[in-house]
Structure 1
Amino acid sequence: MVEMTGLERALTYLRGEKPDKMPIWLESVYLAWQYSGTRSLKEYIYDPKAIALGHIRVAEKFRVDITGVNTDQWVMYEILGAEVEILDHVVQAKIPPWRYRPDRSVYDRFIEKVERIEKNLNEFDPRKCRRAKALFDAWKIVAEKIGKKVLLRQGILGPAATLALTIGMTEAMRDVMIFPDLLGTLTKMVRGPLMEWTVDVAYKMVEAVNFTNFCMGFSGYDRSLLNPELREWLAQIDLEYLNRVRDRIGKDVPITTHVCSWDPDLDFIYERFGKPKLINELQFYAPGSTYPLEKAVENFGDKIPLCAGIDHLGPLFTGTPEDVEVMVKRSIELGRKCISFALGPGCGLSPNTPEENLLKIAEVRDRYGRYG
């Protein structure tokens, strides 16, 4: 078989077919910063050239087929009011005053703002904020440089997560129990103007990476986090969202997934989103999470492509290259039982992940992960 590019390899995998060898997905905000040559994170996140350079260097050095270009999970939501602290080593959400004292008026003010979306969507273009503008510019650079070689896996969570990441997930989940009328009020907003905004941003992100894919986030579908009622509420919103995104970007654009969860509700995700063929893969954390890779292969391997097999908090981060080889080789053996399989971690990689361990992944894949 002729050697494929990483992009060809990834798209073949997403079609449920076997490429020349198993694709590799890796990405890391912090490794990209490290490889960018920019010493200060406070400078890096505003510099599109540095963001692009760091991610390109990571992709090329570790020979990945699928990657993503990001800085943090709040960057798109600043236009809606999300606030972050930019420290020397990390970008993190600010602790809001209402964390310690529930305040119903917080939601009233947010709803009042979001209702303006229906009158002027452009007012809430995330690119009006400096960090988001830098990220969009970085996507353009990366797409031009390596977009024909590597699949750039970009997307945005659904409108319910938009609310949670702007207001605060812990606070929102608490407050719907404290204020009896709040869930109904938020549901109307989430399915109205916030849905419209999130679909529009999703389109802009897919456009930025040349319509190669849209990554749907399922991180909230954690068995230890959601009760059945809240899970069903979220699923109904996300089903509407995903269908609207697919209508907007085109039915032929593959839908990649991100299930960054320690206790992933994979059976539910497959039943509601995979079985109806709304998504093209199940990406999840195994080994390392409560859902063993062996079980996932048995349950879904003949039905939908799987992306897993790298424990980014275990052997990859704390082990030796020999440990990584054992892990990757075992995952490849399991992956051969699937209609299609990609090697990937559960989430973005931690800072200080040993370089020699990362290099080992492609080496082992090239030795054992070829088809034909």
Structure 2
Amino acid sequence: MTSRERVFNAYKFKPVDYIPVFANDAASGPRLIGRDFDEDILNDPEALAKAELAVWEVVRADCFNIRTAYAVQKSLGCKLYFPHDDHHQFGEAAIFTKEQAEAIKIPDPETEPHLKVVLDQIRLMRKEAGDEVVYHVTSHGVFNTVSRLLGVEKMMNVLATDRDFFDVIGNKVTDTIIWMAQAVKRAGGDIFELADGMCSPSVLSPKMFTDIVIPHQGRLLRGIHDAGLIAQFHPCGGEYPIIDQMKDTGADSFWFSELVDIAVAQKIFYRRFPVAGGVDPANTLFLGTPETVDRDIKAMIERLKHKSGVIIQPGCGLAPNIPVENLKAMVDAVRKYSHLAGRKKDENIA
């Protein structure tokens, strides 16, 4: 069974030879080709393609991981800050008024330089690697992106006092990402994942999730689905308080943080929505060793009631300094222990 067959069978609750595993490894590749994970490489499609193929050759996950968050934010005018060899962060506000938000022009992904880098990366990788491995593209969602335009404090103030302002800027972000998703599909993408911790229960209440998040994120997720991609949603930040509401977002599948037991999520959504997650990025992947990764993955799989309808994946995005050997150990352990999913506890003694 190829990775592509395995992943799509899992999403459809069909039989799999082993549980698919996504490694979230896009930030880990640059150092394997002698580069930092910085703004320079994020503007170099050839280097991005080379880096992702290099880390895949070591880790052998069931997808290639391609990131669009930086490109989308730069295309909208976000002013970002880059720590050394780390993910970009908010630098300073780029939008201050509703009138400025209304003036934002939706960029064409095929011509806007930052967005085109991502599309070129996908095309280069498809030319080199073909289609046996799934092309898994990640982006920040509406609320993360708006927070990079306004700043978190300003965004929270606008949500509380000027919903019209938020709707204007939120719709600009949504239209941009939908247009990008359509271009990603044409370039060869398969899954388009929205990661948006700024709409999680650690930031917004469950009521605000229903009243504000679902209308905005829902339109975006439906747009991604309508583009022909699997629309996967990751609200992050401990999803239990909104876990029942997530079914109303329009997503095709859910990626949970490590704060949600993936076995519980699978039990809640089995045969309705596939679920992904389960691996602690900090304690298991960053602080662990290949031996402790193996132990943690085995314990997690033993709790699963079903072998299909689930993707093993880190519970959040990963820092560039995650040990690559731990990512490989994660993938190897999933293949080693997948047969334990759905077995009775006394059958899992090994």
Corresponding residue to 1:360 among 302, 305, 329: 329
Contact 1:221–1:264 (8 Å) recurs in 2: no
Report the residue type matching 1:242 in the other structure: L
1:284 — aligned with what? Answer: 256
1:101 — aligned with what? Answer: none
Using the alignment, how far apart are the partners of 2:90 and 2:169 within structure 1?
Answer: 24
Using the alignment, how far apart are the partners of 2:283 and 2:37 within structure 1?
Answer: 28
Residues 365 and 47 from structure 1, CA distance in 2 versus in 1: closer, same or farther, beyond 3 angstroms? Answer: same
2:285 — aligned with what? Answer: 316
Report the residue type matching 1:256 in the other structure: Q
The Cα of 1:48 is off from its aligned counterpart by 1.3
Corresponding residue SS for 1:27:
coil
Residues 328 and 55 from structure 1, CA distance in 2 versus in 1: closer, same or farther, beyond 3 angstroms? Answer: same
Question: What count of residue pairs does the alignment treat as equivalent?
Answer: 340
The Cα of 1:284 is off from its aligned counterpart by 1.1
Contact 1:79–1:125 (8 Å) recurs in 2: no
2:345 — aligned with what? Answer: none
Report the residue type matching 2:178 in the other structure: V
Structure 1 position 350 matched with structure 2 position 346 = no
2:201 — aligned with what? Answer: 223
Could you tell which deviates more after superposition, 351-360 or 49-58? 351-360
Corresponding residue to 2:97 among 107, 118, 135: 107
Identity of counterpart residues, as a percentage?
A: 20
Gaps of 5+ in 2: 343-350
Q: Deviations over 1:147-200 (max 9, x none)?
A: 4121111144444544333222332113443xx3x2123325534x55433321
Corresponding residue SS for 2:315:
coil
The Cα of 1:218 is off from its aligned counterpart by 4.6
Corresponding residue to 1:150 among 133, 157, 163: 133
Structure 1 position 297 matched with structure 2 position 266 = yes
Corresponding residue to 1:207 among 186, 193, 216: 186
The Cα of 1:53 is off from its aligned counterpart by 0.7
Q: How does 1:1-372 map to 2 (within 5 A)?
A: 4-38=1-35, 41-70=38-67, 73-96=69-92, 106-114=96-104, 117=105, 121=106, 124-126=107-109, 128-177=111-160, 180=161, 182-188=162-168, 190-191=170-171, 193-210=172-189, 212-232=190-210, 233-247=212-226, 249-250=227-228, 253-263=229-239, 265=241, 267-273=243-249, 278-286=250-258, 289=259, 291-301=260-270, 303-337=272-306, 339-370=308-339
Normalised to the residue count of structure 1, the TM-score between the two structures is: 0.80
1:102 — aligned with what? Answer: none
Using the alignment, how far apart are the partners of 2:283 and 2:334 within structure 1?
Answer: 19
Corresponding residue SS for 1:69:
strand
Larger strand percent: 2
Q: Deviations over 1:218-256 (max 9, x none)?
A: 534422211234212111122223223333x14xx4333
Corresponding residue SS for 2:322:
coil
Contact 2:273–2:309 (8 Å) recurs in 1: yes
Corresponding residue SS for 2:29:
helix
Report the residue type matching 1:246 in the other structure: H
Corresponding residue SS for 2:88:
strand
The Cα of 1:263 is off from its aligned counterpart by 4.8
Report the residue type matching 1:110 in the other structure: Q
The Cα of 1:321 is off from its aligned counterpart by 1.9
Normalised to the residue count of structure 2, the TM-score between the two structures is: 0.85
Q: Deviations over 1:299-335 (max 9, x none)?
A: 2345432212211211221122221111111122223
Contact 1:5–1:149 (8 Å) recurs in 2: yes
Gaps of 5+ in 1: 99-104
Using the alignment, how far apart are the partners of 2:59 and 2:333 within structure 1?
Answer: 12
